[in-house]
Chain A
Amino acid sequence: MSHWLIYRTFWDLTVSGIVLGLIYALVALGYTMVYGVLRLINFAHSEIFMVGTFGVLISLTKVFGISLFDDGQYPYRSGFVLVAILVCSIIAAMVVSGAGAIVLERTAYRPLRGAGDAYGAVVLAFLTGLIASFLFSDHIMTNLAIAAVITGPVSFGYVRIFRRGRQAPRLAFLISAIGSSMAMAEAVATWGPEQRSVYTTPRVLEKKVLFNFLGADVRIDYVIVAIGAILMMTSLLLFVNRTRLGRGIRAVAQDAETARILGVNVNSVILVTFLLGGAMAGGAAMMFTLVYDQTRFNIGFLLGVKSFTAAVLGGIGNIKGALLGGIVLGLAENYGSSIFGGQWKDVIAFVVLLTVLMFRPTGILGESLGKARV
């Protein structure tokens, strides 16, 4: 039965597989670019995606004031209003995710590189104060007040520590990454209004079927994801290959020390890399909520693992590899689930990864480290 089924539903599975694959690819870009410049697997990137989905949720429900349902029906919008809402929500997601990525880099990674500055010191001091305040109070306003008071003196302490400029061992970055990831997810789980439950995002776009492709229904949300993802990736490639800052990114990816000697500001290049990766994750977050209408404090976890897999599959550090890896993974998961059953979805994803790594240890397109492309 099931082997006939794959023929009958092949194009259906292909369309939805590519859509999911493109979302994986956008998130994978963040892993791959940060790995390129820092040789660091930024495990907190999944949470950068997660905050992006909340950016969409907040912009839809708070800024536009759209309720989940109007009289039991979806709150569909149309025409100019719809376009405005979609554009604003993707901008909101990219801003939230990009800002999140910058704060993450400044507080969790930069001090470890021995280049900590006042930003990182103040944010770290504030977080220290916030955590310490829970010893005295459980009321969030009191906690924030205590944290604000503590921030001043403690940040000066951090600045003094940062001034020593010690480079931390490699493992410390990884611990910092995993720690920030947990902290961000748990913060949303603890202080978000729905805590650990699922948040449904309002559906403003009516998911009409646009056309039929060999028996597969191609919906408008799929088309938006495809166009949006390709546009974002093309502009990223152009930015990296054509601009001065992009050249800086490529230079640092090839050899950070030489780039520094030749006058590249490595710290600002790293910051831009995080910003770009965050913005891509933000775009992915908006597309994810557009297709699946939901988010959660741990929504980034499985998606992050899959996207990281996609990055490794395509060749880590390789931007085109991320796109290819994402689509291959999305398709393999869909075809595989159809043949073996949905409970095997994750197994299939990792079997594909292992098989590819066995024959091509650097991924399908190869790592780009030390070469002229990133």
Chain B
Amino acid sequence: MKKSNLLRAGAVLVSLSFVGVACGGSDNAASDTTAAMSTEVTCDAPVASIALQFPETGDAANLGAPMLKGAQLAVDQYNAANADACVTLKTFDTQGDPAKAPAVAQAVVSDATILGLVGPGFSGESKAALPLYDEAGLATITGSATNAELQNAGFKVFHRILANDAVQGPAIAKYISETLKPASVGIIDDASDYGKGLADAVKTAAGATVKASDSIDPKAADFSAAVSKMKDANPEVIFYGGYYGEAVKLSTQLRDAGVKSTLVFGDGVKDQAGYADAAGPAAEGALIACPCKDGDATFVAAWTAKYNEVPGTYGAEYYDAANVLLNVIKAGAKDRAAVQTAVNAYDAAGITKQIKFTENGEATEAATIYMYKVEGGKITYVADIK
């Protein structure tokens, strides 16, 4: 009796091992890429470090990966050229969650070797973390948090090197009204700082053509209420303010319900693997606006050589943001106050634009939005919107 019990238990164990082995294959692949990424230029005696606050894991991890890769590329290139005065990149994961951001910011602030911060990655976490950075006088440069209130919140340490949602929203509305010329528009948002901010900007600019609008709960799997509303209004164009994960579900459910409207998204959806590859036929023809640029040929070559893939969204912006801090440190800034002053006075060419900040922390040349389109399953550049 007992023996057969043990035997059966053994069978359970064996099947468990199979599950383990099945997962094991991919685990190897994952650790290989980590290994490839960690054969960096090592920095044994850093003179300083810069921090990166971004969503490394969690719902929007796909958007976080290029942020890390861009910043890491900049730091590696810098360390290869300045081996005697190398700088380390310290990464802090918030999962893009505003609730986790204050604790993370506290950890960043209390590390005295950190002289500047690249990020925060998202707008919500920026709002939660910036008060702490402001108090500590730690300069921050984000290459992706595009909420249009951040620059006006009075944080002296805030800097941003790309156009904000106040530029992006009207630019999207302009593209919709001048290029697509629809009779009616539907607006959906995910009730996040970013998604709602962007959707509201598009809504205001689109004015009377807006026939239906709704918010969705990004955690839910089923968006049938919003889908029914859009089906009822049947607008020619539907804009969704939110991130790629929900965009996949929403696109699929809209197409399943027979809604044929042209789908338009903001930068949170510009993710090849996360959106275009995951939604397949439902994504085809969707338009995605982004203040992000792909970067020049040298940058693309360096990125491809290092990561064996084309640069992801915001990769170029994070490369630029990290370079601003690195150049400032190289020029002799030795503490947080000096870095902050030097960043405010910074004026040099980056790969995405000439980088120079206005008094409220915006880049002076941040006025262009770039429109992309899903064609044949690939997100491809279509036009500039000035």
Contacts and interface: CB of A to CB of B under 8 A. Distances in A.
Contacts of A357: none
Interface in B246-261: 248-249, 252-253, 256-258
Contact of B229 (A5, A122, A207, A293): A5
Interface stretch (A6-14, A34-42, A230-238): A6-14
Interface string A318-348: 0000000000000001100110011101100
Given A16-B228, A139-B31, A342 B223 contact: yes
B225 to A, nearest CB: 3
B20 A144 contact: yes
Contacts of A192: 23, 26
Contact of B224 (A16, A126, A148): A16
A288 B222 CA distance: 10
B225 A119 contact: no
Contacts of A193: 23, 26, 29
A102 to B, nearest CB: 9
Given A200-B248, A338-B228, A302 B219 contact: yes
Contacts of B311: none
Given A17-B224, A196-B58, A343-B216, A151 B13 contact: yes
A16 B23 contact: no
A196 B57 contact: yes
B243 to A, nearest CB: 11
Interface stretch (A67-75, A85-93, A164-172): A67-75
Given A217-B258, A338-B229, A140 B20 contact: yes
Interface string B252-273: 1100111000000000000000
B23 A191 contact: yes
A211 interface: no
B16 interface: yes
A44 B26 CA distance: 26
A200 B28 contact: no
Contact of A342 (B6, B27, B215): B215
Contacts of B23: 140, 191-193
A9 B229 CA distance: 7
A20 B249 CA distance: 15
Contact of B2 (A118, A342, A345): A118
B215 A341 contact: yes
B373 interface: no
Interface in A141-157: 141, 143-144, 148, 151, 155
Most chain-A Cβ atoms within 10 A of its Cβ — which of B9, B220, B258?
A: B9
Contacts, number: 151
Query: Which range holds the interface residue count of chain A?
Result: 35 or more
A343 B228 contact: no
Contacts of B59: 196
A217 B231 CA distance: 11
Contacts of B227: 16
Nearest to A295: B221
A373 interface: no
A197 interface: yes
Interface stretch (B109-117, B126-134, B274-282, B364-372): B274-282
B28 A341 contact: no
B121 interface: no
A132 interface: no
Contacts of A69: 280-281, 377
Contact of B221 (A138, A303, A346): A303
A83 interface: no
A103 B220 contact: no
B226 interface: yes
A183 to B, nearest CB: 13
A158 to B, nearest CB: 11
A141 B27 CA distance: 10
Nearest to A347: B217
A207 B227 CA distance: 16
Contacts of A333: 225
A293 B6 CA distance: 39
Contacts of A155: 9
B124 to A, nearest CB: 15
A317 B284 CA distance: 47
A292 interface: yes
Interface in B26-66: 26-31, 57-59, 61-62
Interface string A168-202: 00000000000000000000000111011110100
B12 A122 contact: yes
Nearest to B188: A342
Interface string B1-28: 0100110111011001100110110111
Contacts of A8: 232
B136 interface: no
Contacts of B182: none
21 contacts: A9-B232, A16-B224, A69-B377, A72-B284, A118-B6, A119-B8, A119-B12, A123-B16, A140-B24, A144-B17, A155-B9, A191-B23, A193-B23, A217-B257, A288-B221, A291-B222, A293-B252, A303-B221, A341-B215, A342-B225, A346-B220
Nearest 9 CB-CB pairings of A with B: A337-B225, A16-B224, A193-B26, A122-B9, A191-B23, A343-B215, A140-B24, A9-B228, A343-B191
Given A12-B232, A72-B281, 15 more contacts: A12-B231, A72-B377, A74-B281, A103-B12, A119-B9, A122-B9, A122-B10, A140-B23, A196-B61, A197-B274, A200-B248, A292-B221, A302-B221, A341-B214, A343-B215
